[in-house]
Amino acid sequence: MHSEQVKAVHRAEVAELFERLGLREAFENSELQCRICRDVITSENFRAVTLLAGELVFYCTKWECPMSIVENLQDQRDEDD
């Protein structure tokens, strides 16, 4: 598939996802931020959404951002010992 087509599909899917989460407006108003680096989440840089302590949190596509999810889990495990 042509890479521009992939991007267009991805953008549509991201918009649909936020629509389903009831966050379409916040997303379009650039009110959603990456939990780690605080960059505004857009259809271009959106990587993941997850539920953390009952709150939806977002991660961008910078490699280090989702990586810190793993680090946090590691920290919690260390504290338990």
Fill in the per-residue mask, 19 to 58: x = in contact with Zn ion (CB under 5 A), - = not in contact: ---------------x-xx---------------------
Task: Compute the least distance from the CB of residue 5 to Zn ion, in Å.
Answer: 26
Please state the φ and ψ torsions of residue 43, each to the nearest 5 degrees: -65, -20
Query: Site size for Zn ion, by CB under 5 A?
Result: 6
C-alpha to C-alpha distance for 53 and 60, rounded to whole angstroms = 19
C-alpha to C-alpha distance for 1 and 62, rounded to whole angstroms = 24
Task: Compute the least distance from the CB of residue 2 to Zn ion, in Å.
Answer: 28
C-alpha to C-alpha distance for 58 and 41, rounded to whole angstroms = 8
Task: Compute the least distance from the CB of residue 16 to Zn ion, in Å.
Answer: 22
- Give the count of beta carbons closer than 10 Å to the beta carbon of residue 35: 21
Cβ nearer to Zn ion, comparing 1 with 70: 70
Footprint of Zn ion on this chain (CB under 5 A)? 34, 36-37, 60, 62, 65
